[in-house]
């Protein structure tokens, strides 16, 4: 830098610093803590400092997003802007391009999601889940999906944000979602990527979700059966070994084993009266057309699920096959759908059914006291300082050793139905309270 350039650069740096400080202080959340101060905080205080820091980072990321979008719009030259950001931020050109695309989408098509970033309630990594999920929508459809997500993203982890955004996108354009599903499934492929140290990655991409979920369930079940007390391999290793053994030795074209999984959709969707997305447990939302196609299979068993029309929560499950204890466990799995620890997306079929209040501490064996937990979270419940409580409405309250409280409510099978919103768009029949 020459002598004449230095004063100009200093002036620019000072302006930037003032702008950033002003930006942060708009919310009166600027703070400074030294390491020694943090050492004297309680666990609760330390966790809250981390939360406050995450909020500040999200606001700064929003500032970076707005700056990238402004530069891109001003330049009007994608290649130039990508190169500029790549050099300035020490990132690859590809990363810079993704940053610009995300910035343009957030500031033009997804104002509510971007607003959450500016308020420090959503970081860039989670915001990108929304931009990716809505990238195929038109601008108007993307804004509609964005508006429907405005109150549903704060406090959710990246997996939860991705699922919510994917559902919103499919609701915004059901026909486009079905077309996209067909295109993706038509692009299915198996790839082999050789790695160092005598290893390789075998990847099955764009496989039909129902077959991939069934295949994983079969491999997982066989791996668990092999995990005896004297088996030195981990479950991950066993799953990999079982999958390779099946591929190398299984008979091609044989009758696939019968697998049981959960597919959630309301009766009106099953009857073709609307196109609301369904949910395939362990995968996420799928189009209504694909759900009806799966339910038309010869081995399909329909189970009636009675729900509360005002909340969508499961009240009862039709039972025709199981003794009471098995039926109780099945009810809990249908109700909970996933592990009940907030943020864990492990399907309930792969979870353990456990007393929220341990049986030997007086916890009754009933659906009102049972919940689905994956193996890791099942053990977490018994760690010192962790306290779990299950309310009558199914809300699980978890108190951490730091004293923070997190709540988890089993997701409803449908949106609350009131006289104002109960009418189906393609029928004048009254709504049903049963789910297929």
Question: How far is residue 362 from each of residues 324, 367, 369, 370, 382, measured CA to CA in Å?
Answer: 20, 15, 11, 13, 15
Strand stretches in 87-218, DSSP E: 189-194, 200-205
In the DSSP assignment, the letter for residue 411 is P
- CA nearest 422: which of 305, 274, 315? 274
d(CA 126, CA 157): 7
Section 146-171 average pLDDT:
92
pLDDT, tens digit (0-9, with 9 covering 90-100), for 225-283: 999 989 999 999 999 999 988 888 754 444 544 555 677 777 777 777 778 888 777 66
pLDDT of residue 258: 54
**CB neighbourhood size of 134 (10 A):** 27
Rounded mean pLDDT, 203-222: 89
Find out whether 45 and 404 touch, Cβ atoms under 8 Å.
no
Amino acid 226: pLDDT: 92
- The tens digit of pLDDT for each residue in 361-372 reads 555 566 677 888
- pLDDT, position 193: 84
Show me where the domains of the chain are located.
Answer: 16-173, 189-249, 314-411
Q: How far apart are CA 212 and CA 217, in angstroms?
A: 9
Distance CA 16, CA 24 (A): 12
Query: Is the model's pLDDT at 15 over the cut of 90?
Result: no
What single-letter DSSP state applies at residue 188?
-
The 10s digit of each residue's pLDDT in 109-135 is: 999 999 999 999 999 999 999 999 999
d(C-alpha 135, C-alpha 12), whole Å: 35
pTM: 0.64
Instruction: Report the candidate in 180, 57, 202, 34 with the shortest Cα–Cα distance to residue 122.
Output: 57
DSSP 303-339: --EEE-TTT--EEEE--SS--HHHHHHHHHHHHH-B-
pLDDT, greater one: 286 or 196: 286
């Amino acid at each position: 830098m020459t002598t004449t350039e230095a004063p100009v650069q200093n002036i620019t740096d000072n302006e930037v610093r003032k702008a950033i400080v002003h930006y942060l202080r708009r919310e009166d959340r600027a703070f400074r803590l030294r390491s020694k101060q943090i050492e004297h905080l309680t666990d609760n205080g330390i966790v809250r400092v981390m939360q406050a820091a995450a909020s500040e980072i999200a606001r700064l990321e929003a500032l970076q997003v707005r700056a990238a979008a402004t530069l891109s719009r001003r330049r009007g030259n994608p290649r130039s802007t990508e190169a500029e950001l790549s050099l300035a931020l020490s990132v690859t050109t590809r990363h810079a391009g993704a940053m610009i695309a995300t910035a343009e989408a957030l500031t033009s098509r997804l104002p509510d999601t971007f607003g959450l970033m500016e308020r420090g309630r959503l970081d860039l990594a989670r915001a990108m889940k929304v931009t990716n999920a809505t990238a195929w929508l038109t601008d108007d459809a993307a804004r509609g999906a964005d508006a429907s997500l405005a109150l549903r993203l704060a406090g959710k982890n990246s997996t939860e944000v991705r699922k919510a955004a994917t559902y919103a996108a499919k609701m915004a354009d059901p026909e486009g979602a079905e077309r996209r599903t067909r295109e993706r499934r038509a692009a299915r492929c198996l790839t082999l990527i050789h790695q160092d140290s005598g290893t390789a990655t075998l990847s099955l991409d764009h496989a039909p979700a129902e077959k991939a979920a069934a295949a994983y369930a079969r491999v997982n079940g066989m791996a668990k059966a092999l995990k005896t007390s004297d088996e030195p391999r981990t479950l991950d290793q066993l799953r990999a070994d079982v999958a390779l053994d099946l591929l190398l030795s299984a008979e091609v074209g044989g009758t696939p084993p019968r697998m049981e999984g959960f597919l959630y959709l309301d009766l009106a969707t099953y009857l073709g009266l609307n196109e609301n997305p369904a949910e395939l447990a362990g995968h996420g939302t799928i189009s209504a057309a694909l759900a009806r196609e799966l339910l038309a299979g010869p081995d399909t068993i329909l189970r009636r699920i009675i729900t509360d029309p005002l909340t969508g929560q499961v009240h009862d499950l039709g039972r025709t096959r199981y003794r009471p204890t098995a039926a109780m466990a099945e009810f809990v799995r249908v109700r909970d759908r996933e592990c009940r620890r907030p943020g864990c997306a492990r399907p309930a079929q792969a979870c353990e059914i456990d007393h929220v209040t341990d049986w030997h501490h007086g916890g009754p064996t009933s659906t009102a006291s049972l919940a689905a937990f994956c193996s890791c979270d099942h053990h977490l419940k018994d760690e010192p300082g962790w306290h779990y409580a299950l309310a009558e409405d199914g809300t699980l309250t978890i108190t951490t050793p730091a004293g923070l409280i997190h709540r988890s409510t089993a997701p409803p099978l449908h949106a609350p139905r009131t006289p104002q919103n109960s009418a189906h768009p393609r029928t004048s029949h009254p709504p049903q309270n049963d789910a297929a």
